[in-house]
Copies of this chain bind each other. A is one copy, B any other.
Amino acid sequence: MLTLEQVAALAGVSRSTVSRVVNGDPRVSDAARERVEQVIREHHYVPNALARGLASRRTRIIGLLVARSVGVVLTDPFFADVIQGAVSVGNDAGYSVTILMETGDSADIADRIYQRFIRSRHVDGVVIVSSAVEEPILDRLIEDQFPFVLIGRHPNKVVDFVDVDNRAAARDGVAHLLEHGYRRIGIINGPPDLIVAVDRYTGYERALQEAGYRPDPSLSVNSDFTRSGGYRAMTQMLAENANPPDAMFVTGDVMALGVLQALHDQGIRVPEDIAVMGFDGLEETLVSTPVLSTIHQPIREIGATSVGTLIELLEHPDRSPIERYLPHYVQKRRSCGCGMSVVTGSASLPGEHGRS
């Protein structure tokens, strides 16, 4: 394994010159550059990332931190999309993106990750996905002045974040259900300690209030954003309610698919008996039965933008926090009661079949 020093010797120049060539510094003569590049090519020289990082005080690695168990993260298509957007933008800017993973219970996880990757300076900055209102790691990051960007706004800290306006989005979705004439609209939401869950509930509440209704607590359940969680929540709500809802707002598409399944298993027709509105705009909702109406958010772009924002932050450390809101829209399909099965606007139908 060659070192920069050896390359310099072989090319008959100094270390600095090789370093300049490697880093694209223009202050090198064509002749010298050529000789160095020649040697690099011949010997497959690749600079040692650790030495580089130690000297330059940056690793060009960005961490993606999801304070959930590895299993959940890796299977949920939402995270898959976020990650893809993140990796793509990172790579283009010369950064590697790595998922910060640890095993153990979730309280521990954040702690261990903090030690292992952040304080040890393994990554230059982190993108934090789906944080809770009380996220102890945030305070530490701020205290250590460690660069980070949140996916999802924070209610009471001034930090960089990328998000959709979850309150407005939820309000729009529920308003659409109201336009259809539904009046008993239930909600199946994520864990109540997550900011997105709070925001989406607020939007739901607001839409109802604007129409002169008020939420019925017996039609409100918190779940966990998983398919099985949605299934259980819906089943439970039906079992415990003599007076069932005529429409459901489900704050995540994966959960919504579980809800559709639960309704199907109970012999309840969608949308005739109960309408359903999801949230996310995942591709797999196009092949559900019936096709799921949902509030679309640009997930890949969220991942991409968050990394983009972090890179800006890394390269201009003392600029003030940026808040970016990305657009959402209601995808009116079958499950809300709309007649059409074709999507308006952006969503395309790739060669995807066979989902239930």
Contacts and interface: CB of A to CB of B under 8 A. Distances in A.
Interface of A: 1, 44, 46-54, 59, 70-71, 74-75, 77, 79-81, 83-84, 87-88, 91, 96-99, 101-104, 112, 115-117, 119-122, 144, 227-228, 230-232, 257-258, 261-262, 265, 351-356
A91 B54 CA distance: 24
B46 A115 contact: yes
Q: Which of A81, A122, A262 has the most CB of B within 10 A?
A: A122
A51 B54 contact: yes
A91 B103 contact: yes
A353 B228 contact: yes
A356 B49 CA distance: 47
A355 B227 contact: yes
A355 B261 contact: yes
A195 B51 CA distance: 38
B354 A120 contact: no
Contact of A48 (B120, B232, B257): B120
Contacts of A52: 120
Contacts of A352: 228
A55 to B, nearest CB: 9
B122 A228 contact: no
B354 A231 contact: yes
Given A83-B74, A230-B354, A354-B230, A50 B48 contact: no
A116 B98 contact: no
The 9 closest A-B pairs by CB, nearest first: A231-B354, A356-B356, A46-B119, A49-B120, A74-B80, A258-B354, A50-B53, A261-B354, A50-B54
Contacts of A46: 115, 119-120
